[in-house]
Structure 1
Amino acid sequence: MTVIICNDTPAAIRGMLKRWFVEPKPNVFVGTVNRRTREKTIEYIRRNAPGLGMLILATAPNSQGFSIVSYGETHRIPVVYDGHYLIAEKWNEDDEC
């Protein structure tokens, strides 16, 4: 399964994504495609909408069962912590823990 979350998807990109994915909520696309189709789709989007921010969750053979990748500027940042994917909602390098 693949989930693509975009920021302000252009109409042409949205139409192309609807070929393989359903859009349960604006700019959220969910579908079951093979790895090659997913990679070609992401490549097409990055080439034709270079400023588009995307967060992509895809099935992967790891303990969580998925991986997370982001492209462009998104409001969420994927972080790998102790081998697990987490989402940072706000990230400040200057803040001390």
Structure 2
Amino acid sequence: MNTPMPNLVVISTTAVPDYVRGSLSRWLTEPTPGLYVGSVSARVRDKLWETVSTAVGDGAAVCVHPADNEQRYIIKTAGERRRRVTDFEGLQLIEFKEENGIVQL
């Protein structure tokens, strides 16, 4: 028996333009600066992420939302940061870029 996926979305932003923060705060709650949570449809979530990821500039953003996979969620990122998502046999893991270019899991 398949149960419906919840529609909770979490978006974290760092150093994004003010208008991006404004767009997010229209649809989601901001419990702490740069962290947005809420329940929205997949269509709204995808539009919000499109807005964030295309306007991130020198900042960074992460979106976590439910998915029908082994982990039960997907992580999306935009912008360059030390941590990045990598696929390891179907699982999303976080790898760290070292300052000298070496990557560690």
Q: Is the 8 A contact 1:7 1:74 kept in 2?
A: no
Q: Is the 8 A contact 1:54 1:72 kept in 2?
A: yes
Distance (Å, rounded) in 1 between the aligned partners of 2:75 and 2:53: 16
Corresponding residue number in structure 2 for 1:91: 97
* 1:29-81 C-alpha deviation (Å, 9 max, x unpaired): 1111111111111222344x241321111110011110011111134211222
TM-score computed with the length of structure 1 as normaliser = 0.79
Which of the residues 65, 77, 83 maps onto 1:76? 83
* 1:14-34 C-alpha deviation (Å, 9 max, x unpaired): 121111111122111111111
Corresponding residue number in structure 2 for 1:16: 23
Q: Which runs of 5+ in 1 are unaligned?
A: none
Between the two proteins, the alignment pairs up a number of residues equal to: 95
Identity percentage of aligned residues? 32
Distance (Å, rounded) in 2 between the aligned partners of 1:4 and 1:66: 13
Corresponding residue number in structure 1 for 2:61: 54
Q: Is the 8 A contact 1:6 1:55 kept in 2?
A: yes
TM-score computed with the length of structure 2 as normaliser = 0.74
Query: Would the alpha carbon gap of residues 94 and 31 (structure 1) be closer, same or farther in structure 2, given more than 3 Å must change?
Result: same
CA RMSD of aligned residues (A): 2.2
- Name the one with the larger strand percent: 2
